[in-house]
Amino acid sequence: MSYSPNWPFERGSIVIPAVEERRWQAVLTRDSTQDGEFVYGVASTRVYCRPSCASRRPTRARVSFFETPKAAESAGYRACRRCEPQIDPPTTVRQVQQAREFLDQHPDETVTLARLGRMVRMSPFHLQRTFKRVVGVSPKAYASARRLDRMKLRLRNGDTVTRATYEAGYGSGSRAYDQARTGLGMTPGSYRKGGRGMTIGYTVVTTPVGYLLAATTERGLCAVQLGDEAAELEAALRNEYPEADLERKEGGLSISIERAVERILDGGEVALQLDVPGTTFQWQVWDALRRIPPGETRSYHDIAKELGRPTAARAVARACASNRLALVIPCHRAVRESGEVGGYRWGAQRKRNILELERVHRDSRSEVTVPAS
């Protein structure tokens, strides 16, 4: 098949002329309903804009269309400072919020992207892409997480497993069990019973940043908590798993944890088997945290951009806040855009102290000792 030299192309994909014509009309009319559906680049300025941009309209011959800001930037264009096309428009953010509220209100229904898109007046493709960028996960993953949260709440309030499963919106018990093993680290029945039937070994050691409690199941490390009092840490563990068989272990476990903490604060890596529940997005964030060099920090926004979701800074912050493994998953290296340390479930001052210790160790390793002459 041959193509005319005037046949329009986009980077990596063919664009049907009728589609280009509709997009050009959207640019001419500054149609805000098309914001987020595509961007256009102007060859003479090497700038790309959203369809509704109020800047002077370019000539058609100088315009190219792109599916995403990233595609435009890959082609050598930079974002317009006036319309900021790389940032989701307020209207789009409101539509995503409406989609979230709709999913929250229909927990027992399988809501398709097509149905959700019609409800918020977005194409399924644009909704999927924008929802993931704003919230941090896809609509399907969001609905699954909310369903699990509802089941956890009902189990805590004393519902039977069967009642909690169906009231949370699961269509079958098998689906609930499959998700619970990933999201809870145990079956719904074990969670309802406060960990009954589980054996958790733990130890408490002293560190330069306070007391540290480390707990393990047969599958790996399930908790690393920091605090000012050993008794408070033990009480918190018992509150989390009131029916589990908790065994305080000294000797080997204490020694291995102390060595691991020392190595972490000294900038080294440790190989520990982990047994903590988390969504796909949370694990993406936690893996990104572990790639940050000791003593250095990244903003929540920087981490979101690294994951390809520049508007998901709040979701990144929530993933940091849900971390159960202090130091092992170094959420203390995530800070606010301003450079302020921000929140830390084990205390902002402790977060500062950990970062300072890491920097001291890092700087001491980088010093070059010159032998005396």
Comparing C-alpha atoms, which of 155, 60, 162, 144 is closest to residue 104? 144
Alpha-carbon gap, residue 152 to 163, rounded angstroms: 12
Catalytic residue among 49, 53, 83, 320: 49
Catalytic annotation on 331? yes
Count of CB atoms within 10 A of residue 112's CB?
12
What count of other Cβ atoms lies within 10 Å of the Cβ of residue 357? 19
Instruction: Locate the DSSP E strands across the chain.
Output: 9-10, 13-14, 39-42, 47-49, 63-66, 78-79, 199-207, 210-217, 220-227, 245-248, 298-299, 334-335
| 3-state secondary structure string across 5-63 | CCCCEECCEECCHHHHHHHHHHHHCCCHHHECCEEEEECCCCEEECCCCCCCCCCHHHE
Residue tagged 């490390």 (tokens): 221
Residues catalogued as catalytic: 49, 331
